[in-house]
Each structure stands twice: as C-alpha cells, then as structure tokens.
Structure 1
Amino acid sequence: MRVALTTNVLAVPPTYFVVSHAQLLADHHHFESFSLLADVRDPSVTLPVHDFAPFAQLDPARRLYLAPFAGFAMAKGLIQYRPDLIHQHFATWSGPAIRAAGTLDVPLLTTLHGYDVRALAGPTRGAMNVWHRRNVRAIQKVSDRVLSVSKYLADEAIAVGFAPERLEVHYQGIDTAFFTPASDAAPVIEAPLISFVGALNSHKGPLDLVRASISLVATHDHRLRVIGAGPQEGILRDLADQHPHIELLGRVPKAVVRDTLRASRAMVLPSQESQGGREAAGLVLLEAQACGTPVIAYNSGGISEMMDAGTTGILVPERDVEGLAIAIREMLQMSNGERARLGAAARDFVVKERSLTNSAAELEQHYSEVLRSRL
C-alpha cells in the first residue's frame, strides 16, 4: 500500500504524530510525507519528506509566510506520487489532498486534531477563518473516513456537522519502547522534581502551574522544570528569575524530555479553555505515564481519556490553581511505595491502552477498511 501523509506544516520535533505511525508500519507499506512546509530536525525520521513552499534555502520561520502559495505544487506532487490512499492530518489546509484524491480517485482519510473543528464552531470573521471553514467543510463532504483523537473531539465534530457514520475515534499512541521508566533507581539527592512539557501559552496553562508551585515551595520543597516555547515565555522567565526553584529549558530534544519525565515526581498539564477550544488529547500525559511518572491535569476537553484518574494520576477542576497546588502537594507527600504503585499503574495503562504499537495496528485496519469500501 502506498500512503501519502499530508498536512500544512510538518515540524519534528515537537509534533511526531504525523510520522510516528508510518515509521512503525514502514516494513509493510510505503509512506511519504507531503506538506506545504517541513522542518524535520530529528534524524530518526527516515520516511521521504516533501515540502513545497518556495525558497528552500530560507529559514523555516520565513518560509512559513510563503507556504499558503504552494498548494497547487503540493497537489501536483501528490498526483505524481500516485498513492493508494491519502491521509490528511488536520482538516484545515486540506485543499491539496482533496484535489489529488479527486484527480486520482483514491480514498481520503482525515484525522481531526482540535483546532480544525473549532474553525467551524467559532465566529465567521476574517479571511483566514473563512478559508479554514471552507477547507473543513470540504473535508466533511469528501473524506471517506474521519478519525478523531478522542471521544471528546468526536462529540465536538458531530456537533458542528461531521457525519457520525463516517467518524471513528483513533487514539494517537506513543512509543512505549522509547518512553520507558529509568533503568536504575538512583537515590534522589536534590529536591523532588515537578515538570511541565508543552507550548507556553494560555491554552496549555503553564502560568497556573507556576503560581501553584510558588504557593507551595516554602512548605514543600521541590524544583519545577518547564520545557517548551511560546508567547508566555517572557513572563515565565521573569517569574523564574524571582523564584530560583523554577527552571526553563525552552525547546529540547526528545531524549531530554524523556529524561525529565523519568526524573519527575509528577508531570503537570493544566490545559484549559482558550479562545473557545480545549485540549483534544494531550499526548505528553501518555509519554509521562509510559515513563512510570504519575500525572496531574485539569479535567478539560479530552484529557480525562489520556489517564485513569485516581489510578495513574489526579484530575483537577479547570482553572482551579488551589486544587492544582493540593494535588502537587499530595504527590510530594507520597511515600516511595505509593508513588511506585501509581507509576506502575501509569505505565501499564499506556502499554495496554495507548501504545503506538496498538494505535498503528488500528490505523492500518482503518486504511484497509477504507480501501475495501472503494472496491
């Protein structure tokens, strides 16, 4: 089977989900990635990657402004590849995939990730929003099958007009062979570590975590490590300068993320409603649990589907900073035995319910079913 993976911008790291399943299935099928703009800096990504924004010699951040003009070139590249199936990630910027699928008369499968659904739920204003809505409406009409990364997002998609009979939930698994607990249990000399991994913006809620941490540190010694980049980085660095227990690492390689998750007493993700949208899934929660690290998160969007609340971590009401501090305190006060039991349950949950191996097998089944439906 020849599969074309299509998306607007392919940036690896941090977003591996477009290519991770393909890498695992590459022994049985041929995958190539097509995007308006690609910025792949991880040498472990071995499948062919094509992008079509002009001036390849420019920095990706500058080429991004030119990407919207590359749609016809991308469609032409897809047609020349002649895939058996096209798998579009995000319903926005889907024009090249739609044109190629129509020209070749091949199935089109689309994975929804969240902001594409919100494009239909929000107000119609501005040229870009109108453009996104047009793309998403087209995907609604022509996709042979639509996959949603959580039940929460599936319900949201149905509410804005996606046909339930063509919509399936497909959880994006994570690599449980890479994200593993530490091989040794070296004694912890420093204060226990609490971590955050994600975009530094109002949607992911790192400021709530920092405020909760500051309220606790005088009575419950700990370190807070924040990994990621985004618009709130400036204010977070100001707070880190004032509170030496806080460390900001910026963007880091995947192995550094894993080392941090392994070393953490808990990983915290206070994702919350922002501009009308909530977290569709939250794969970093799975990565932490696969490392044997319990998680704390706001009960927002599809987050509850990424953990077994009470068994692998703690859910806190959305925007409840005091509740977040209480949950962190509970983790800091746990005995080693209690934490080990929670960590083992967390690892077990991901291996059995959310592994990349299982997710890739399910995706392969979706591909086969969609192809058979065209016979």
Structure 2
Amino acid sequence: MTEIAKKGHEVHVLAPFTGGETDYVLEGVHVERFHYFYPQRFEKLSGRSGMIDNVKEGFLVKIQVLTFLFFNVLHSLLKLRKMDVIHVQWPIPNGLGALFLKKIYGIPYINTIHGEEVHLSKRYHMLFALRWLVNNSSKTITNSTATRKFCLEAGLDGEKIEVIPFGVDTDFFRPLDVYKDGNIFQILSVGYLIERKGFEYLIKAMPHVLTEHENARLKIVGSGPLESKLKSLIYELDLGDQVEIVKNVSDEKLLMMYNSADLFVLPSIVDSQGNTEGLGVVLLEAMACGVPVIGSDVGGISDIIHDNVTGLLVSEKNSIELANAILNLVGNTNLRKKFSMDGYDKVIELFGWDKIAESYLLFYSFNPV
C-alpha cells in the first residue's frame, strides 16, 4: 500500500486494534484501528499469534468473532463510504463490511485470498460464506497458483480469480557486506513454529548433514506453539550445539541474519488439517539478500523457486532428501553462487513491491460493481 501511496493515490487502511495508536499516517498511508470488544482490555482476538490461534483460547475469544464482524461492518460503513474501491485482505472475516459498502453505496471491492481461509472454510463448513463474499466481489487476487487451485477446488468463481503474489521490500531486504565465520556453514530458517512449517523435518535432517560436514549449523528464527516440542527434539537428537531456536527478532536483526547465512531452507509441509504454504514470503526475503534457497515442493513455493535454476525443491516430510539437498549445496560453491544470483534477479524482476503495486493498480481500474 505504501508503494501505491507513493504513486499519488490516497490510501486508507482499516484494521483491528492490536495496541498502540488508533489513528495515524504511516509512509503516506492513513491507518485507523478499530476496537471490537468492550471492555477493551479483554480484546484478545487480533494480534499476537493471529486470529486462527487466538480463537482457541476460550469462550470469551470465540464470542469476539461475532463482535469483530459487527464492528468491522460498522466502521467500514462509517469510515470507508467515500472510497473509490475497497481491497479486502482475508475475505473471512474482513469481507462482510466491503459487501455492505457495495450493496449500500455501490463501491466495488476486490479480495485477496492467502490460502488458509479456504482450508479453514472447508474445516468449519463455511465455504458457502466464502463463495458468497468472493463471488459478489469485482475480482479476487490469490497469492500463488497453488492458492488459486485451492479456490477453484472450493467452487469459487474462477473467472474472477487471478494471481498476484505478495512482494518483498527490496530496498530493505538486500545484500550486505557482513562478517561471516569461515569455519561455520550457517543454515537459516524463519517462520512461525507450527506444524505446516515442517521444522521438525529440517531438524531431523541435521544429523545426516553433520556426518559429512561437522561445521554445519542451523538457526531457526521464530516462536509459536511447537517451540517446546522442537526444543525437545533438538535435545533428543543431541543437537544442542549445532541447532538453535531464536525468538522473534527485529527486522534489522533479521536482515543481518539473512546476510550472515550461507543457505536458507523452508521445509514446509501439508499439515494434518490440509493447510500448507500459500507462498513463502521468507524465501523472497532470503533471495532478495542474495542467499541460496531450498524449499519443499508444496503450496506456492514452486511459484518462487524454479527447481535447479533459482534454488532446490525437495519432497515434503523427507528428511533424508532434504539432507542430501543441503549437502549438495554445502559442497558446491559454484551452484550456491548461481542460485544466489538467479534468485536475486527473479525477486527484483517479479516480486518487488513496486512491481506488485503496478499490478494492483491495474486491478483497481477494473471497477464494475
């Protein structure tokens, strides 16, 4: 949105309150955060680990789903009725307000579907609501070809669905000349510590990697509900000196960690609920920093990694295949350099936010109600 604002357009963002200010301007974008439950100190649905996990915390938070929908519609009608077009991120739960704006004021709206809402709609028998919100929109964006496929399988209107990936800030995430310990081969992975990220398979791959390259080290950056389980696995495999889980860090620190890494790995899987990686933005961040990458061949990851061209794709849940891919790159400096350069070029060409903003503006110009 900041790139669109830089191009001279007025951009307003309406989002739930997660702390801090409720009304401010961020890089030219007008942001307003609304309260969705009273007393406000009991608001627990938004922020932290996200709505999907927060709603599991008890009856009071489940009630807030209903109050969220009410206040989302109310604030949409009060604050957004003079907009030319509405762009909804996550049609469930955010699309209801846009639908009211269309019905009452004739304002067209566009959805972006990230993938997980399709799986959740199936699980909770809410596909009828997702179809209603999507099929009433002017157009729908999915973040990858895999997510578009999920939408078609769910019965959404395919004529309205196109793919525009999420982007990466290539001004911020960029190659830096930083110190690297020549005695260590540093492997990095980043993400929320949940099942679908597949970190257990990466940890299980490390003993195989270490048998041939004892100088390899793995750092996983993130937090989440599987933190204790993953740390127990590290202990069971006697990897305490070779594998480390680092709590969430600042963007500036993460930038340094990308640039200090010799290899980035995203071992995502299709989890027990059928969810998988919608795109894999951390791969884009790593590639923008010139780091060679390995990813599982699931979800939208293949939109980012062209196998053996911009990185390596491996089968999900296969620690041996993953270990062999890592070993291949540990021992092949030229291949790492090739993936680093080709991956960087692909991100700059296709995934910079300036490019994504141009695609959004083309979408916004298509405004039939």
Q: After the TM superposition, which residues 172-183 of structure 1 pair with which residues of structure 2 at under 5 Å, given as runs?
A: 172-182=166-176
Deviation at 1:187, TM superposition (A): 4.8
Q: Do structure 1's residue 250 and structure 2's residue 247 form an aligned pair? A: yes
Give the CA RMSD over aligned residues: 2.3
| Alignment partner, residue 360 of structure 1 | 357
Segment of structure 1 superposing worse, 325-334 or 26-35: 26-35
* TM-score of the two chains, using structure 2 as the length reference: 0.85
| Alignment partner, residue 5 of structure 2 | 26
Q: Do structure 1's residue 188 and structure 2's residue 207 form an aligned pair? A: no
Q: Do structure 1's residue 165 and structure 2's residue 159 form an aligned pair? A: yes
Deviation at 1:170, TM superposition (A): 0.8
- Sort the Cα spacing of 1:38 and 1:97 in 2 relative to 1 into closer, same or farther, 3 A: farther
* TM-score of the two chains, using structure 1 as the length reference: 0.84
CA distance in 1, matches of 2:256, 2:43: 28
Say which SS state the counterpart of residue 230 (structure 1) adopts: coil
| Alignment partner, residue 212 of structure 1 | 205
CA distance in 1, matches of 2:279, 2:248: 21
Segment of structure 1 superposing worse, 337-346 or 249-258: 337-346
Segment of structure 1 superposing worse, 70-79 or 223-232: 70-79
Deviation at 1:210, TM superposition (A): 0.6
| CA shift digits 1:134-191 (9 cap, x unpaired) | 4312213311101111112112211221112111111111111111011x26453441
The question of whether the paired residues in 1 share the 8 Å contact of 2:34 and 2:75 is answered with: no
CA distance in 2, matches of 1:60, 1:312: 43
The AA in structure 2 aligned to 1:88 is: V
Segment of structure 1 superposing worse, 85-94 or 211-220: 211-220
The question of whether the paired residues in 1 share the 8 Å contact of 2:178 and 2:259 is answered with: no
CA distance in 2, matches of 1:70, 1:255: 33
Work out which of the residue numbers 285, 310, 313 in structure 2 matches 1:312: 310
Q: Do structure 1's residue 152 and structure 2's residue 156 form an aligned pair? A: no
Residue-pair matches, total: 341
| Alignment partner, residue 293 of structure 1 | 291
The question of whether the paired residues in 1 share the 8 Å contact of 2:293 and 2:339 is answered with: no
- Sort the Cα spacing of 1:303 and 1:365 in 2 relative to 1 into closer, same or farther, 3 A: same
| Alignment partner, residue 338 of structure 2 | 341
Deviation at 1:216, TM superposition (A): 1.8
The AA in structure 2 aligned to 1:35 is: A
Gaps of 5+ in 2: 47-53, 55-60
Work out which of the residue numbers 75, 78, 100 in structure 1 matches 2:76: 78
Q: After the TM superposition, which residues 101-180 of structure 1 pair with which residues of structure 2 at under 5 Å, given as runs?
A: 101-120=102-121, 122-123=122-123, 129-130=124-125, 132-180=126-174
Say which SS state the counterpart of residue 207 (structure 1) adopts: helix
Deviation at 1:40, TM superposition (A): 7.3
The AA in structure 2 aligned to 1:137 is: R
Deviation at 1:332, TM superposition (A): 1.4
The question of whether the paired residues in 2 share the 8 Å contact of 1:79 and 1:104 is answered with: no
The question of whether the paired residues in 2 share the 8 Å contact of 1:36 and 1:67 is answered with: no
Q: Do structure 1's residue 90 and structure 2's residue 90 form an aligned pair? A: yes
- Sort the Cα spacing of 1:239 and 1:68 in 2 relative to 1 into closer, same or farther, 3 A: same
CA distance in 1, matches of 2:116, 2:45: 23
| CA shift digits 1:216-267 (9 cap, x unpaired) | 2243121111111122100222244542111111212222222211111111
The question of whether the paired residues in 2 share the 8 Å contact of 1:35 and 1:52 is answered with: no
The question of whether the paired residues in 2 share the 8 Å contact of 1:54 and 1:67 is answered with: no
Work out which of the residue numbers 323, 343, 354 in structure 1 matches 2:321: 323
Q: Do structure 1's residue 54 and structure 2's residue 37 form an aligned pair? A: yes
The AA in structure 2 aligned to 1:331 is: L
Deviation at 1:327, TM superposition (A): 0.8
Gaps of 5+ in 1: 1-21, 124-128
Deviation at 1:57, TM superposition (A): 5.4
